[in-house]
Amino acid sequence: MEHIELFFKSIFIDNMVFATFLGMCSYLAVSKKVTTAVGLGAAVIFVLAVTVPLNWLLDQYILKDGALAWLGPEFASYDLSFLSFIMFIATIATMVQLVEIIVEKFSPALYNSLGIFLPLIAVNCAILGGSLFMQSREIPTLGLALTYGVGSGIGWFLAILAIAAIREKIRYSSVPPALRGLGITFIITGLMAIGFMSFGGMLTGGDEKPAEKPAVEAVIKKQEIKKDTKEIVAKNTTLNE
Amino acid sequence: MGLLSKKDTALLTDPLADNNPITIQVLGICSALAITAELKASIVMAVSVMFVLGLGNVVISLMRNIIPSKIRIIVQLVVVAALVIIVDLVLKAFAYELSKTLSVFVGLIITNCIIMGRFEAFALGNSPWRSFLDGIGNAAGYGLILVIVGFFRELLGSGTLLGFKVLGDPIEKSGLYAIGYENNGFMLLSPMALIVVGMIIWIQRSRNKALIEEN
C-alpha cells in the first residue's frame, strides 16, 4: 500500500516537471518531436531507477549523521552530510557512464535510440533533484527509494511526452509571432501545471497540509533548541564561576 | 573605463538583454521558476549563482589546458559541487530560514544548465579574466529575470516587497485594500512563474523582432 501510494504521489502530485520544475532545460530543448522525447524520457526513468536507490544506500550508510556507526562506535559521531552534493553527483555521473557502456555492449539497438541522450542526463536537474528530494523527504527503506525513483521518472516521461505531442500539433495554429517557440511552450507548460495541481487531493481527499508549514515549524523548533542550548551554556558558565 | 575594453563590456552587458541566459539561451530554468515566489529568495539565489558562476568560470579557465577532454564533465561537476557546498554552508550558517525556503534548489545549482553551459561554451576557450566577466554577466542576466519574476509574484501575490507591506495591510484594510483590492493568491503558486516568464519572453521578442523563432 505504501509503495502504491508513493508511486502515484511521485507521478502525479509531486510531478518532477509540473510541481518542482526539475529537468526543465532538457524538457524544453528535446520536446520538439515525440520520438526523441520518448527516448529521453525512457533514459530518465532508467537512470532515476538506478541512481535513487544507490544514493539512498550512500546516504544511509555513509553520509547521514551517525551513519558510519556500522564501522564501530568511535565513528558514530561523524556527520558527513555536507558532502552529499559531491557524492551524489559523482555517483550519477559514473552511473550514467556505466549504463552507457553496458547498453552499448549488450543492446546496440537500444543504444542507438537512447545513446545520444545518456550523456545529457548526467547534468539533468531531474536526476540530482530526485536524489536530493529522496534525502530531504527522508524516505525510510530501499524499496521505497526504488519506487520513488521509478515513479518520478515516469512522471517526467509523461510530462515530456505530453508537451512534445502538443508542440507537434501547435505548429499548425497561428500563434502570435513573438510568442512562437519558447514563449508559447512556457505558457502551455504553465497551464498544464495548473491542470496537474488538481491531482493534489488525490490521495488525501483534499485535507493535505500545505507544504510550507512543516518547514516553518522546523525553523521555530530549531530556534527554540538554539535558545535552550544558549541558556544551558549560560547556566554552565555561571555554575563554573 | 581603463579596466574594461569594449569587448569586455560587451561580455558583461550582452547577457542582460539580447543574449539573456533564460529567455534566449534557455539555460538554467529549473531553479529560476521554483523559488521566485518571494523577492528575497530570488535575490539570494541570484547572488549564489553569481558567486558560483564567476568563480567556477575562473577555475575552469585556469585549468582549461590540463583537463583531458574526455573527463571534463566530471571535472566541471566537481568544481561546481565544491563551490555550491560553500554557498550551502554559508546560507545555513547565516540565513537558516532562507536556506529552508530554497531547500534543495541550492544543491541544484550544480546541475543548473547555465553553469555547465557557460563552462563548455566560454571558460574552456578563454582567459580567466574574460571568463570571470562572462560568468558575472550571465549570472546577472539570470538574476535580472529572477528578480523581475520575484518582484511581480510577491507584489501581486502577497502585496509585499522583501516582506514590507507596500500596498497596505490586508487585515486592517489600509492602503489599496481600503478600496477593495485583493491579493491574487494564484501568483504564489508555482505554475504562475512559468506564465510570467512566458510573458517576459513575449515582451522581449515583440520589442526585438530579430529574436522571433520559426515555430
For A209, which DSSP code? Answer: P
Q: Chain A: residue nearest B197 by CA?
A: A186
Q: Are A124 and A26 in contact (CB under 8 A)?
A: yes
CB B87 within 8 A of CB B51: yes
**Domain extents in chain B:** 23-214
Cell of A124: 539533468
Output phi, psi for B6, to 5 deg.
-60, -40
CB contact at 8 A, A149 and A127: no
Q: Name every chain A residue with its beta carbon within 8 A of the beta carbon of B112.
A: 125
Partner residue opposite A125 with nearest CB, options B85, B108, B206: B108
CA atoms of B24 and B201, how far apart (whole Å): 8
**What are the CA-CA distances from residue B163 to residues A43, B38, B39, B168, B182 (Å)?**
43, 8, 9, 12, 17
CB contact under 8 A, B197 and A29: no
**Nearest chain A Cα distance for residue B1, angstroms:** 36
Residue-wise pLDDT for A9-39, tens only, equals 888 888 888 887 788 877 887 788 888 788 7
**Whole-model pTM over 0.95:** no
Per-residue pLDDT of B110-144, as tens digits, reads: 777 788 778 878 888 888 888 888 888 888 888 88
The pLDDT score that the predictor gives to residue B4 is 65
- Contact between B215 and A171 under an 8 Å Cβ cutoff? The reply is yes
Beta-carbon separation of A25 and B28 below 8 A: yes
On chain B, the residues whose CB falls within 8 A of the CB of A86 are 78, 81-82, 85
What's the pLDDT score for residue B194? 84
Instruction: Name the residue of chain A whose CA is nearest to B208's CA.
Output: A178
Q: Quickly list H helices, chain A.
A: 2-8, 24-29, 34-58, 84-106, 108-114, 118-121, 125-136, 142-170, 182-197, 212-240
Q: How far is A241 from chain B (nearest CA, A)?
A: 30
pLDDT band at A237; cut points 50, 70, 90: low
The Cβ-side half-sphere exposure at B146, using a 13 Å CA radius, reads 30
Q: Do A90 and B77 touch (CB under 8 A)?
A: yes
Q: Which residue of A has its CA nearest to B98?
A: A219
Report whether B91 contacts B98 (CB < 8 A). Answer: yes
d(CA B208, CA B203): 9
For residue A184, the distance in angstroms to the closest alpha carbon of chain B comes to 7
Per-residue model confidence as pLDDT tens digits over A40-91: 888 888 888 888 999 898 888 888 777 777 777 777 777 777 788 888 888 8
The CA angle A224-A229-B90, to the nearest 5 degrees, is 75
- Over range B92-118, report the average pLDDT: 79
ipTM exceeds 0.90, yes or no: no
> Do residues B43 and B53 touch, judged by C-beta distance below 8 A?
no
Chain B residues whose beta carbon lies within 8 Å of the beta carbon of residue A90 = 74, 77-78, 81
Name the residue among B103, B192, B205 with its Cβ closest to that of A178.
Answer: B205
Q: Which residue is closest to B24 within chain A, CA to CA?
A: A182
CA dist., res. A19 & res. B103, Å (int): 14
Q: Which residues of A touch B195 (CB under 8 A)?
A: 186-187, 190-191
B164: β partners: B161
Name chain A contacts of B85, Cβ cutoff 8 Å. 82-83, 85-86
Instruction: Write out the three cell numbers for B58.
Output: 575562473
CB nearest B34 (choices: A21, A128, A132): A21
C-alpha A55/C-alpha B200 separation (Å) is 38
- The arithmetic mean of pLDDT across residues A194-216, rounded, is 62
